[in-house]
Each structure stands twice: as structure tokens, then as C-alpha cells.
């Protein structure tokens, strides 16, 4: 695979972080006595669950935008760099939200900004290429 190895690595690292978040939910079940299929019952468990769920909610936005950005700009390093910013934002989101729901803002903002750059960057470039087919 000669295409976009750094973007592929960043995608898998993002998924590993997400997997770690889901592990914390599983551990929280025994720690706080929240038995499946319940997903409520203890505030610490509920925050761990929402950390995973919100990240899941953003994964399609992030992953599809990341790859369409990388493919349309043909820019492996820059795309992977923006993807890394997303991962850093998600780590801050995890550490902040774990302490208190109110502390989830900064990390959330960083990953949302990175996603917006990728999404609108890809959308703009693809529309530009449709309008300028010879360029």
C-alpha cells in the first residue's frame, strides 16, 4: 500500500484510543456495579460511557473527512498531522470529562476544530476540482 501510510497509522491510533475508552466502560461495570445491559446507575460510569459514546458519534465524521481530505489534497503528512490534533483533543476530552462533565469543553473544541478543517478542506477541494477539471 503506497497510499497514505501516515493517515492509515493515525486512523488506527485513533481507533486504539477509542478502544481504550470502551475498555474503561467494561472495567466501570464491575467497579461501580453496573450490570449489563444497564448503562446508567453511577455518575462515574455514566461519564465513562458518554466519553466512549461521544467519540463513537464523531468517528464517522472524523474518519471519512480525514481520508477524503488526504485523497483530495494528496497530502499524507499534513492530513496525518491534523488527525494527530484530533487524537490530542480526544485525549484531553477523556482526561477532562473523567474528572467532571464541565471539564470536557477544551478537548471537545480541539477535536471539533480538527474535524471541521478536514471536512470543509475536503469538500472545498473536491468542489474546486469539479469546477476546474483541467487544473
Out of 17, 24, 32, 47, the residue judged to bind a copy of itself by CB under 8 A: 47
Asked if 77 interacts with a copy of itself (CB under 8 A), we say: no
Out of 17, 32, 61, 98, the residue judged to bind a copy of itself by CB under 8 A: 61
Q: Nearest 5°: phi and psi at 59?
A: -60, -45
The CA distance from 53 to 70, in Å, is 26
Residue 106 contacts residue 91 (beta carbons within 8 Å):
no
CA-based nearest residue to 91, from 51, 60, 53: 51
The CA distance from 64 to 70, in Å, is 10
Asked if 122 interacts with a copy of itself (CB under 8 A), we say: yes
Considering only residues 12 to 41 of the shown chain, the ones binding a copy of itself according to CB under 8 A are: 12, 15-16, 18-19, 22, 35-39
CA-based nearest residue to 29, from 47, 45, 52: 45
Question: At closest approach, how far in Å is the CB of 85 from a copy of itself?
Answer: 18
Q: What does the binding site for a copy of itself look like in residue numbers (CB under 8 A)?
A: 1, 5-6, 8-9, 11-12, 15-16, 18-19, 22, 35-39, 43, 46-47, 49-50, 52, 56-57, 59-61, 63-65, 68, 71-72, 74, 101, 104, 119, 122-123, 126-127, 129-130
Amino acid at each position: 500500500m503506497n497510499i497514505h501510510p501516515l493517515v492509515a497509522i493515525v486512523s488506527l491510533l485513533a481507533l486504539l484510543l477509542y478502544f481504550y475508552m470502551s475498555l474503561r466502560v467494561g472495567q466501570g461495570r464491575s467497579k461501580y456495579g453496573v450490570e449489563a445491559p444497564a448503562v446508567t446507575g453511577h455518575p462515574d460510569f455514566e461519564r465513562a460511557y458518554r466519553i466512549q459514546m461521544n467519540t463513537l458519534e464523531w468517528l464517522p465524521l472524523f474518519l471519512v473527512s480525514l481520508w477524503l481530505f488526504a485523497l483530495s489534497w494528496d497530502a499524507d503528512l499534513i492530513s496525518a498531522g491534523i488527525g494527530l490534533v484530533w487524537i490530542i483533543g480526544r485525549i484531553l476530552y477523556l482526561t477532562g470529562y473523567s474528572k467532571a462533565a464541565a471539564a470536557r469543553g477544551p478537548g471537545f473544541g480541539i477535536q471539533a476544530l480538527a474535524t471541521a478543517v478536514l471536512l470543509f478542506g475536503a469538500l472545498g477541494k473536491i468542489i474546486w476540482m469539479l469546477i476546474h477539471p483541467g487544473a
